[in-house]
DNA sequence: GAGTGCAGAGAACGACCGTTCTCTGGTGAC
DNA sequence: GTCACCAGAGAACGGTCGTTCTCTGCACTC
């Protein structure tokens, strides 16, 4: 428990938003705007209006727009990881746990604001000019590959299966985004079932 | 044969570059720069320097940067279509013709300047703000899906196979771009072989 | 109540964007 | 040679970007 006692000049929780709350509001608004319009398509002024946080405060909370971009991507990575893990955790059979990934995608694709994978989008926009963005995206995708590897290993499938399943997931995301259709999630799942079946033959 | 005769004021082919030549040079330079640095990452001034074509001339050849972007994407679409078709045409067996798509990807991925699919990248950058870009990208991907459908139909495979193979190709492109590794082409090909085999069972 | 400090609003700043305009130099016609 | 024209170079323009600064008003201290 954090004591309610405060030092002079420090706002209580009933006063104006504290820094942590503002940070989260700013990142949430930035994430929504960046995802919808691209990173370069959103100015700091628009972020100020959308978040209700003054420019002065934004620049006290973050040193630059680049830093906001970085934090938004890192937060998205955590959210993605949690979403996938909890969808997988609902299943007990190794095969069903793996397929839960595609059901998670299906649920995501039908959301109204779905516009593909934010990491792929950011890489397309800034991967060629921002080493930091490229690195975050690469690391995010590497993480996903490793996660799928643990899931395939649980099943006793050969290691070659995981990258194939990852490629299906990536392809489903871009195809669904561009076509505006959620069907690729089901198509990828059906393909994954075939690949899993083939990988487990003779076991 | 076009007669060598010229009207007054029209340059011969031995003089300064004619409009068609300049158009092609401009589009080539724009394509290279846009692909490497993103569309918004390249200014008209940089395009002028890279192409050696004055701003005045660029704006006589194209009404706006948006028009250049559009023409670059349409030219890339033609080049992609030709590249895929000619790779496929080198094979005679329906199955090999289909797999040639992934060999084409493999050859592309190892090129030094490879940075993923320009259409996926453009969609990530501008799909949310430019209806025209979104439409061109969607139409490009739709074309690819249809092409795969004709190839799977040649083989007598059920229609559900084509979207799965397309998803593999899309996933391979993004995965290879982000990881900086050409391996996804081979992984996608191996997965495609399994899916094709499964689709043809009992035929 | 007077003074102090800090927060927000938004103007200002330099840099760059896409686009247009001006200037200049060279080339062709006669 | 003289003149008209046109292309290129790059300055200029209005707008927007990320970032900083100024001003104002309020809340707190003593």
- pLDDT tens digits along B74-84: 999 999 999 99
B10 has pLDDT over 80: no
State the virtual CA torsion across B102, B106, B107, B112 in degrees, nearest 10.
150
Give, in Å, how far the C1' of D3 lies from the CA of B91.
Answer: 66
Q: In angstroms, rounded to a whole number, what is the distance separating the alpha carbons of residues A110 and A92?
A: 25
Cβ–Cβ of A175/B180 closer than 8 Å? Answer: no
Q: In angstroms, rounded to a whole number, what is the distance separating the alpha carbons of residues A134 and A106?
A: 26
Q: Are B155 and B193 in contact (CB under 8 A)?
A: no
Task: For residue B11, say whether its CB is under 7 Å from any atom of strand D.
Answer: no
Candidate from B128, B172, B194 with C-beta closest to A41: B128
**Which residue positions in chain A have pLDDT lower than 70?**
1-17, 202-203
Q: Tokens 């830093």 appear where?
A: A67
Give, in Å, how far the C1' of D20 lies from the CA of A2.
Answer: 36
Q: Read off the tokens for A44.
A: 């700091």
pLDDT number for residue B203: 66
Cβ–Cβ of A174/B171 closer than 8 Å? Answer: yes
Q: Are B151 and B68 in contact (CB under 8 A)?
A: no
Candidate from A166, A191, A195 with C-beta closest to B175: A166
Rg of chain A over all Cα atoms, to the nearest angstrom: 20
pLDDT number for residue B17: 66
Q: Are B152 and B163 in contact (CB under 8 A)?
A: no
Give, in Å, how far the C1' of D2 lies from the CA of B11.
Answer: 24
For the full predicted model, state whether its pTM sits above 0.85. Answer: yes
Q: Read off the tokens for B43.
A: 């200014």
Cβ–Cβ of B120/A124 closer than 8 Å? Answer: yes
Q: Three-class SS of residue A129? A: coil
For helices A65-89 and A19-37, angle between their N-to-C axes, nearest 10 degrees: 90
* Angstrom distances, CA of residue A55 to CA of A11, A27, A67: 20, 14, 14
pLDDT in tens, B112-126: 999 999 999 999 999
Minimum distance, in Å, between the CA of residue B39 and any CA atom of chain A:
8
């Amino acid at each position: 428990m954090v004591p309610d006692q405060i030092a002079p000049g420090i706002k209580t929780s009933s006063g104006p938003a504290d820094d942590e709350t503002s940070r989260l509001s700013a990142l949430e608004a930035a994430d929504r705007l960046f995802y919808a319009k691209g990173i370069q398509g959103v100015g700091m002024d628009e972020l100020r209006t959308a978040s209700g946080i003054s420019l002065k405060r934004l620049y006290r909370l973050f040193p630059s727009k680049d830093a906001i971009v970085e934090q938004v991507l890192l937060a998205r990575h955590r959210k993605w990881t949690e979403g996938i893990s909890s969808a997988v955790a609902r299943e007990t059979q190794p095969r069903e746990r793996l397929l839960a990934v595609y059901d998670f995608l299906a649920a995501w694709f039908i959301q109204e604001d779905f516009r593909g994978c934010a990491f792929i989008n950011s890489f397309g926009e800034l991967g060629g000019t921002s080493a930091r963005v490229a690195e975050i995206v690469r690391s995010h995708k590497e993480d996903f590959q490793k996660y799928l590897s643990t899931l395939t290993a649980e099943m006793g499938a050969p290691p070659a299966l995981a990258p194939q399943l990852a490629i299906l997931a990536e392809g489903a995301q871009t195809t669904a985004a561009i076509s505006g259709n959620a069907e690729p999630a089901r198509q990828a799942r059906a393909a994954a079932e075939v690949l899993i079946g083939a990988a487990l033959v003779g076991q």
